[in-house]
Amino acid sequence: MIARLPLGAVPPRAALERLIARHGTRAVLMGMVMALLRPGRKRRRRHRMLPTEQISPHLRRDLGLLPHIPAEPPRYWNHY
């Protein structure tokens, strides 16, 4: 049952009586109970921002950020 009532045009009691006459007492009561028990709308979660140090160089370039430069350049002679 989907009831669409114009707000403010009809007094609430008359609108409720019209719904009961159209759909029956049990259907209207069950609809009211289900509407009260239904959880509210879900809130939109805020997206978590990644720290800019964890973003890959390709993504940084696409976003227009400067490339990540390590604090100390690697010393290649230490690897051999």
Please tell me the predicted confidence (pLDDT) of residue 1.
58
Q: Compute the distance between CA of residue 41 and CA of residue 37 in angstroms, rounded to an integer.
A: 12
Tell whether the model's pLDDT for residue 39 goes beyond 70.
yes
Tell whether the model's pLDDT for residue 78 goes beyond 70.
no
Average pLDDT over residues 34-59: 79
Average pLDDT over residues 12-29: 89
Is residue 33 within 8 Å of residue 18, measured between CB atoms? no
